[in-house]
Amino acid sequence: MIMSFLENLDWRYAVKSFDIDKKITKEKLQKILYSIEMTPTSFGLEPYRVDVIENSEDLKKIQGFSFNQAQVGNCSHLLVFSARTDIMDRIDAYLQLASGGDKEVLKTLEGYGDVMRGFVQSQSSEEILVWAKNQVHIALGFALAACAELRVDSCAIGGFLPDKIQEFLKLDEKFIPTVLLPIGFRVENPKSKKVRFGLDDL
Ligand SMILES: Cc1cc2nc3c(=O)[nH]c(=O)nc-3n(C[C@H](O)[C@H](O)[C@H](O)COP(=O)(O)O)c2cc1C
């Protein structure tokens, strides 16, 4: 039976420990990455990159940069979401992509290009980073939902040292690690019910 999106939300929870021996198939990983690719973002600029780590030694190292949280070390795969800060270049790349390299089509997109550039120019670099990180979190949400649909467990991780991970992964300084997503298969069952403030609180 196909479960609905809402039922999937009841199935998922933030897993604290994964079965180190169970690996996600390539097919499922591709589908999770597809959910990130299809995420709607501001201007469609997808201002992020995602690195997939599966080497167990690398995972242990990154666990060390994540306040030793076990789920980072014993997951099947770790998705490292980094916000991009090179947005002017990204706009040029977007316009090239959207126009398919056709000069005439490119001309018709220049107005949109100006709107995007105007937005970037109106923001400080700190504001642009916040904006890019916001887009990362939309992608995170889509990935969390895709994982649940595929019956892949996950746990978003904001508790880590971005500088250490940027250095370890040899990321260019324009990429700012923003959130981690270890994925795999749960070894425990949730002990307590979900803690939620309730609809009246929304
Ligand atoms: C952006 C973000 C960062 C998070 N960081 C951590 C973390 O560092 N460690 C952790 O165990 N859980 C982390 N969580 C998981 C939340 O604690 C969890 O989703 C929340 O308590 C709700 O529980 P549930 O996911 O089981 O429904 C994070 C979740 C999000 C969305």
pLDDT higher than threshold 80 for residue 67: yes
Distances from the Cα of 55 to the Cα of 76, 132, 151, angstroms: 9, 28, 22
Measured in Å, residue 57 CA sits from the centre of ligand 1 at 24
pLDDT in tens, 12-35: 999 999 999 999 999 999 999 999
CA-CA distance, 202 to 199, in Å (whole number)?
5
pLDDT higher than threshold 90 for residue 1: no
pLDDT higher than threshold 90 for residue 142: yes
In this structure, the residue with its CA closest to atom 1 of ligand 1 is 158
Residues whose CB falls within 8 Å of the CB of residue 176, separated by 6 or more in sequence, listed in order? 82, 83, 84, 85, 129, 132, 133, 162, 166
Structure confidence at residue 21 (pLDDT): 95
Pocket test for ligand 1, best of 157, 179, 181, 197 (most atoms within 8 A of CB): 157
Least confident of 31-40, 73-82, 129-138, 181-190: 181-190
Structure confidence at residue 188 (pLDDT): 73
Which residues are near ligand 1 (CB < 6 Å)?
13-14, 16, 69, 155-159, 179, 194
Structure confidence at residue 194 (pLDDT): 86
Residues whose CB falls within 8 Å of the CB of residue 164, separated by 6 or more in sequence, listed in order? 65
φ/ψ (deg, to 5) at 115: -60, -45
% of the chain exceeding 70 in pLDDT: 98
Average pLDDT of span 98-114:
97
**Ordered structural domains, the chain, with CATH:** 5-43+50-85+124-188 (3.40.109.10)
% of the chain exceeding 90 in pLDDT: 95
Length of the chain: 202
Distances from the Cα of 136 to the Cα of 45, 81, 85, angstroms: 11, 7, 12
pLDDT higher than threshold 90 for residue 189: no
DSSP state of 201: G
CB 153 within 8 A of CB 184: yes
pLDDT higher than threshold 70 for residue 192: no
